[in-house]
Structure 1
Amino acid sequence: MALVSTEPARDPADAGGGSARPPAWLTALKASALLLLLGLAAWYLLSQELPTVDQIRAFVERFGVWAPLVFGAVYALVGATPIPVTIMAVSGGFLFGMAQGSVLGILASTGGAWLGYWIARFLGRDALYRIAGPRLGTVEGKLEGKGFLTVLVLRPVVPHWALSYGAGLVRIPQRDYLGATVLGGMPGQISFAAIGAFTSRPSWPALAAVAISWAVVIVVGTITWRHSRREESADGGRDGPAP
């Protein structure tokens, strides 16, 4: 099964056989809910101190055998907001070791990214379409068939929440988004878990995991970027005027 979908992005009005767009009041209500969520996250970042690794440990250890599940759920919720997820990724390695912390980080960060994608798509898409109009279709047309590569290149460098919300707003196909999110986020999650594990129990394997993970990020990012540039050049050549 191909990872990259060539399914064109559609406006909400095209779904269900051309049904009418939602009424303006509903669009405004959903957009307000999205802005409220972002505002609450911004307020937290500006007025509250982020928890330390020790505070996170004290919280999750109260749940005993359920600690990994609780940690993963909290991580996913944090990942759907503008609150930085780095402290959660490092805490996973510190609390559960590099292997389990990496698995938890990959699963939870993907879950948070998926949640953020659908929050933006459900709450903000209609408002963005009303504001941008046909220009939004132009952007989506340029991304058609390239959603996977776009997310894969941007995932290691763009803030977690920003890419999730952006992908949801421009309706990058969900299959492309999730596949690229897992692959693009895996090296970073492993390296942060390794840092946390090294802080708790210093070891050479943890240091090696950090170095290898970021080497993979650089190599994969470079290869993917060059591939996307070649595709753009090829598209430009096909679209150019005939001699």
Structure 2
Amino acid sequence: MRQRSVVRFGALLAVLGLFGLALLLAPTPDLHEMPRLVDRLGPFAPVAAVLVCAVLLVALVPRTLITVAWGALFGPVQGAGYTLLAALLAAAVGFAIGRGLGRDFVAERVRGRLARLDGWFARQSVLGVITVRLLPVGGFGLVSYGYGTTGARWTPFLLGSVLATAPSAIGYAAIGAAVVAPDRINWLAVAPAGLGLIATAVLATRWLRTERHLRAARRTADVS
């Protein structure tokens, strides 16, 4: 059993390594051809947009770049909507891969503080997932894989992932739309991105305060 978990975890690391190598070696897409491709897809363009975005997120392509591009191609509202649907799908796929390949390895080996951290992930609510998603701890896809290796639950993870993604998705899609049509953009659409930054600071402060209270409580318990 332990040997199988090592093999699966090694496979997870190999997958992530291959994705990272692909990002370095992949050719730059022809941006001028993309609007024509969207036109040729016609009514299938929205489905293709969601699926392609989800695949790119799973392959560790930065979400910011995709969202800006989708905003330029589809407009601020549709671009944000497609990337949010793709983020939900990609989060589920990344979590499932991380859970299937890495959870047993982590569960068998975490001890001490790492075990307490794993327990914290297992108890996380939607707010906790939003907190982690908004902190600059890794890309969207990488965080999804990492969450799968912990004891986190599916529903809070998926819901928190979408809620944490929404403000920046709207803001970056609006920026992408402004690049191609600056006279049509409503700059109020960028406001959610600013709210996202404020939410990041608030949630990070709350998380740090909670951690200080827990450490103080443990010290008190140790003394008594």
- Which secondary structure state, in structure 2, belongs to the residue aligned with residue 240 of structure 1? helix
Distance 2:192 2:31 in 1: 22
User: Secondary structure at the residue paired with 2:32?
Assistant: helix
Aligned partner of residue 171 in structure 1, secondary structure: coil
User: Structure 2: how far apart are the matches of 1:236 and 1:28?
Assistant: 33
- Is the Cα–Cα contact under 8 Å of residues 98 and 206 in structure 1 kept in the other structure? no
1:178 aligns with 2:158: yes
- Whichever residue aligns with residue 213 of structure 2, its letter is A
Gap runs ≥5 in structure 1: 1-21
Tell me the equivalent position of 1:118: 96
Amino acid at match of 2:163: L
CA distance in 2, matches of 1:38, 1:217: 28
Distance in 2 (CA, whole Å) between partners of 1:100 and 1:129 is 40
Give the Å deviation of 1:89: 0.9
Cα gap change, 1:98 to 1:230, in 2 (>3 Å):
same
Displacement of 1:173 in angstroms is 1.4
What is the CA distance between 1:97 and its match in structure 2?
A: 1.1
Per the alignment, residue 47 of structure 1 pairs with: 25
Query: Do the aligned residues in 1 keep the contact of 2:177 with 2:185 (CA within 8 Å)?
Result: no
User: How far does the alpha carbon of each residue in 1:41-78 deviate from its partner, in whole angstroms, 9 at most, with x for none?
Assistant: 12211212342543443444332210110110011111
- Say whether 1:128 aligns with 2:106: yes
Q: Answer with 80-89 or 53-62: which moved more.
A: 53-62
Kindly indicate whether the alpha-carbon contact (under 8 Å) linking 1:92 and 1:102 is maintained by their aligned counterparts in 2.
yes
Q: Secondary structure at the residue paired with 1:82?
A: coil
The answer as to 2:22 corresponding to 1:34 is no
| DSSP-derived class of the 2:75 partner | helix
TM-score, scaled relative to structure 2: 0.85
Tell me the CA shift for residue 214 of structure 1.
2.3
Indicate which of 124, 132, 150 corresponds to 1:146.
Answer: 124
- TM-score normalised by the chain length of structure 1: 0.79
Report whether the alignment pairs 1:215 with 2:194.
yes
Shift of 1:99: 0.9
Percentage of matched positions with identical amino acids: 27
Give the Cα separation in 2 of the matches to 1:54 and 1:150.
Answer: 41
Aligned length: 219
Q: C-alpha separation between the residues in 2 aligned to 1:206 and 1:50? A: 30
Task: Write out per-residue CA displacement over residues 24-43 of structure 1, whole angstroms, 9 at most, x where no aligned residue.
Answer: 2x334433432332232122
Match of 1:228 in 2: 207
